[in-house]
Amino acid sequence: MKSTGEPETEQIEHLPEGDEQTLRASLAGTLVTPEDEAYDEARQVWNGMIDKFPAAIARCTGTADVVAAVEFARDHDLLPAVRGGGHNVSGNATCNGGLVIDLSEMDGVHVDRREQTVRAEGGATLGDVDRETQLHGLATPLGVVSQTGIGGLTLSGGMGHLRREYGLASDNLRSAEVVTADGEVRTASEEADSDLLWALKGGGGNFGVVTSLEYDLHPISPDVFALFVWYHGDDGRDALHGFREWAADAPREASVLPFTAHVPDIEEFPEAAWGEPAVVFLGCYDGSEDEATETFEPLRSLAEPIADLSGAMDYTELQTMLDEDYPDGLRYYWKSVFLTDLTDAVIDQMIDHGLASPSKLSTVDVWHLGGAIADPDQDETAFWHRDKPYLLNYEANWEDPADDDENVAWVREGIETARDLAVAGGQYGNFPGFNEDPAQILFGDNYARLSALKALYDPDNLFRRNQNITPNQ
């Protein structure tokens, strides 16, 4: 399960003392090395399954620090890993024996109300952006867990509650400041370096360190309507069939994420149902409560629910609702495949295999796509699979390291079974396992152009701690 471009190591590697002092002197921020008391904490990322030992961690405070770190990694043949929020499930934010370029202290957010745009630094999280934009009744489509970093999310697409109305996070990316492998600071926009902007919109972390991102904003009132209804596992097939019928002509203002789960042992649910298999609909409607109630009524009456927690809520509350389900240090392994149809075979697999997960914290998710995501042509941005109406994602979430093999095997078996279906193909860059699959399955026919741009901006493949695109030499 080794990640692309990363050496295996059984011991901590150290920078030569002279090189360490050179790097330390070039930074306004802090350099953390294995000798430092802060090292063990600094090297941790969100996924507790990732346990890496970088030679150094450069905690950058600005773009000049990032330039210094990139140049040092290049000149000393060190593998760089870029950390924003540190939430990528594959652990791209750290590495063995290399240099972590840590942007977490670069988290400033500035809203331009007149232009309806927001610019955020590369270490900002979804919560940082939502907090500032909602002051003005505005939002940009991001993800669904507020501690997620905006950089990694956006560079691989970015799917959130507003996806069907306003598209992917990357579709709303207006410009970005990028430090490329040559140490140059570039502004990628439609007016300058437009090819680089095209590549950033779905091409992952292949093209440099993104130090700030500018997004388009959209009016989102403080209150939206959240769909959150739980059905008994025995009613799961009928519920998913009902969802499929509803999704065929669903309005763009509505986005729904059905998933398998087990009822948590908390007071919001009847105690008799705790631990029971379930099928859940989580959704968002951007509009009036009356419209939302009418739109979601078919999904709230498919059977007798275990619990229906739907209702109007603050948008920022919706954006944080799943946070406690994905804490730091839990063990995660997620893989995905796009679907051209939600067939009976897919639904049967979700029920039969999904509800038999070895961990009761695990889920199998179906992201309803389409709407604004499908509006651009497939070659309009690097994100290729926008024509697919669904994404199937296997999420293994568990606590005990002794259960690693069982949970990883459950995900891989489920995804391989799904890939054998005629309706399945591709992969989503934010749910990539451990990057063990070839990058071509993410990028489809866009791969050739991405490879040519990789040769232009990173010919020596310095940035390879990702779903790696090989430079076209």
Token duo for residue 125: 């999280």
Q: List pLDDT tens digits, range 222-274.
A: 899 999 999 999 999 999 999 999 999 999 999 999 999 999 999 999 999 99
Question: What is the reported pLDDT for 2?
Answer: 40
Distance CA 195, CA 343 (A): 37
Higher-pLDDT residue of 360 and 10 is 360
Q: Pseudo-torsion of CA 257, 263, 267, 268, nearest 10°?
A: 30
Range list of β-strands (E), 291-431: 305-308, 311-314, 331-339, 363-368, 390-398, 424-425
Share of the chain above pLDDT 70, in %: 98
Q: List pLDDT tens digits, range 145-197.
A: 999 999 999 999 999 999 999 999 999 999 999 999 999 999 999 999 999 99
Question: What is the reported pLDDT for 10?
Answer: 54
- Whether pLDDT at 288 is above 90: yes
Assign a CATH topology to domain 223-425.
Answer: Vanillyl-alcohol Oxidase; Chain A, domain 3 (3.40.462)
Concatenating the DSSP letter of every residue in 142-174 gives --SSTTSBHHHHHHT----TTHHHH--TGGGEE
Q: List pLDDT tens digits, range 359-399.
A: 999 999 999 999 999 999 999 999 999 999 999 999 999 99
Q: Which residues contact 219 (CB under 8 A, 6 or more apart)?
A: 137, 138
CB atoms within 10 A of CB 64: 16
CATH 3.30.43.10 holds for 17-102: yes
Distance CA 67, CA 83 (A): 15
Q: Residue 12 — very low, low, confident or very high, per pLDDT cuts 50/70/90? A: confident
- Whether pLDDT at 6 is above 90: no
- Prediction pTM value: 0.95
Domain boundaries, the chain: 17-102, 109-220+446-456, 223-425
Average pLDDT over every residue of 188-213 = 97
What mean pLDDT is reported for the chain?
96
Query: C-alpha distances in angstroms, 258 versus 33, 339, 362?
Result: 44, 14, 13
- Whether pLDDT at 9 is above 70: no
Q: List pLDDT tens digits, range 100-147.
A: 999 999 999 999 999 999 999 999 999 999 999 999 999 999 999 999
Candidates 3.30.465.10, 1.10.150.80, 3.30.70.260, 1.20.1740.10; correct CATH number of 109-220+446-456?
A: 3.30.465.10
CB distance 361 to 255 below 8 Å? no
316: amino acid identity, one letter: T
Average pLDDT over every residue of 37-41 = 96
